Amino acid sequence: MGMMPARVLFIVCATLALAGVRTVSAQPVIPGSTAFCLYEIPTDETGKRRWINLGIVQYVEATRTELKIAYGAGSFGSGHEARFPVTSMEEALTVLEKMRRVASACR
């Protein structure tokens, strides 16, 4: 059996590459590592898109008006937190469930 023609090889590679493309607005669940497990959180007040690494989340606080995610707490108080408003406790729990799904995919 001979070698595959270059054009056929290119089409196969391009098809496989495009199969993994997802929409920008969707929260992808990509299997990976707990050391680098990104989760997109709502934009900040200036409109910047933000992601947190779920592998370094210390704790999450949920109220009916706000979700607070504390992460990256190392020595000397170097931790950070992301806060964003929610409209209800149900919305906060929905966000937490999405975070759990993404984190489980990173194992």
> In this predicted model, what pLDDT tens digit does every residue of 19-53 receive, in sequence order?
444 434 455 655 567 778 899 998 888 999 999 99
Listed in sequence order, the residues at least 6 apart from 16 whose beta carbon sits closer than 8 Å to its beta carbon are: none
Q: Rounded to whole angstroms, what are the CA distances from 15 to 3, 31, 43? A: 19, 20, 33
Between CA 93 and CA 101, with CA 96 as vertex, the angle to 5 degrees is 130
Q: Is the dihedral of CA 65, 69, 73, 78 positive or negative?
A: negative
Residue-averaged pLDDT of the chain: 76
Q: Which residue has the higher pLDDT, 78 or 91?
A: 91
Q: For position 9, what pLDDT does the model report? A: 42
* CATH architecture classification, 24-105: Roll (2.30)
Query: Which tops the pLDDT comparison, 93 or 7?
Result: 93
Q: Which residues pair with 81 in a beta bridge?
A: 70
Q: Where are the beta strands (DSSP E) in 1-107?
A: 38-41, 50-53, 57-62, 66-71, 80-85
